[in-house]
Amino acid sequence: MEGYRSYPIFRFDRQQGWQESPDAVTVEEPLEIRLVFGPDTKRENRSLAITMRTPGHDTDLVRGFLFSEGLITDMSQIQSMKLINTRQEAGRGHTIEVHLAPEVTLDWTTLERHFYLTSSCGVCGKASIDAVMQNLHVELFPLEPRLDAVTILGLPDRLRKQQSLFSVTGGIHASGLFDLKGNLLLLREDVGRHNAMDKLIGSLQADGGSYSDLAAVVLSGRASFELVQKALISSIPILIAVGAPSSLAIDLAEEGGLTLIGFTGQERFNVYTGRQRVEESI
C-alpha cells in the first residue's frame, strides 16, 4: 500500500515494559507544482507552490488545488500534466509540470498576496471572504438538498471505516464525498487536511463534477476557512466536520450559503450555518 513507511521504534508499555517493534508511519514528501505555458508564448514558466503531501493521487491534488484556489475555472484549461521524478540522494520529492491553455492569465503579484493571506489564517478576514466570493464559479445554490439528521450522525464512522491508510498509521486526514442517503462516493486521504480536500475535488472535477450539487463532504478533522473556501468554489453545499470550525470558517459559510456542521459524532452534532438543509428526523 502506497502512503506509509515502516520504522523501527521502542515502545513502552506499563505492563510489558520496553519492546522493539516496527511502526507504520504516514509518508510526508514535497510536491512542487510548476506552471508551463508552452514554447509559443512569452509568459514565464515558474514554480507556483510546494506542498507537503502523502504521495498518491498527485494529479488529483494538483487539479483540485488549481480549481479550489480559483486559478482555473474548468478542467479544459489544463492541457496536460507531467510528473517529473526529482528524487536525489540529498532528498526526496516530485515535481508536476502543468501545461495550461493559452487563454489562462495569472497575475503573479496577486497570487503571492493571496497565498500569503491564506497561510496567515485570515489576518484580514473581510478581505479574505470578499476574495472567495469573487472567485465563485457558479451562482450561490439554494438551501437544498436536504440531509437527514440521523444519517449525519453515522457519516464520520462510515468515513473512518473506509480510511485504509488511517487504519495502518493512525496519522492521516481524510475527506469523503457522500450522497444524501449516506453512501460513500469518493474518499481521499493525505497527511494534510487541505491536500485531502484538494485530491477529492480534483478527482470530482476530472469526473465532470456531476454529483457535487447532490453531495456532502465529511472531514476527519476540524473545518478551517480554507476548507470552507474549497467547498464553496466546488459547489459543495454541505460540509460536515468531526472537529470544530473556526470563526472565519463560520463567517464565510454564512456569506456563501453553505451548510456547516461540526463536532459530529454518533450522538450529536452542531449546525453553524444553513440549518434548512438538515431534515427533522429524530
Instruction: Say if residues 177 and 186 touch (Cβ distance below 8 Å).
Output: yes
Q: Is the pLDDT of residue 213 over 50?
A: yes
pLDDT of residue 164: 87
Burial class (CB in 10 A: 0-12, 13-18, 19+), 207: middle
CA 29 – CA 94 distance, rounded (Å): 8
pLDDT of residue 143: 75
CA 12 – CA 131 distance, rounded (Å): 50
Give residue-wise pLDDT tens across range 6-41.
989 888 888 988 899 999 999 999 999 999 876 555
pLDDT of residue 113: 53
CA 256 – CA 30 distance, rounded (Å): 32
Which residue's C-alpha cell is 466570493? 133
Q: Domain limits of the chain? A: 29-134, 147-279
CA 234 – CA 244 distance, rounded (Å): 21
Give residue-wise pLDDT tens across range 48-71.
889 999 999 999 999 999 998 888
- CATH architecture group of domain 147-279: 3-Layer(aba) Sandwich (3.40)
Catalytic residue list: 121
CA 16 – CA 116 distance, rounded (Å): 49
Which residue's C-alpha cell is 515558474? 46
Q: Mean per-residue pLDDT for 267-282?
A: 88
pLDDT of residue 223: 95
Which residue's C-alpha cell is 453515522? 154
Residue 92 CB partners (closer than 8 Å, separation 6+): 29, 30
Q: 123 pLDDT band (50/70/90 cuts)? A: very low
Which residue's C-alpha cell is 503531501? 53
**Mean of the per-residue pLDDT values for the chain?**
84
Give residue-wise pLDDT tens across range 129-174.
676 666 665 555 677 778 999 999 999 999 999 998 888 888 899 9
Q: 182 pLDDT band (50/70/90 cuts)? A: very high
CA 210 – CA 50 distance, rounded (Å): 30
- pTM, rounded to two decimals: 0.85
Q: Which three cell numbers stand for residue 73?
A: 475555472
Nearest in space to 142 (alpha carbons), one of 266, 19, 235, 263: 235
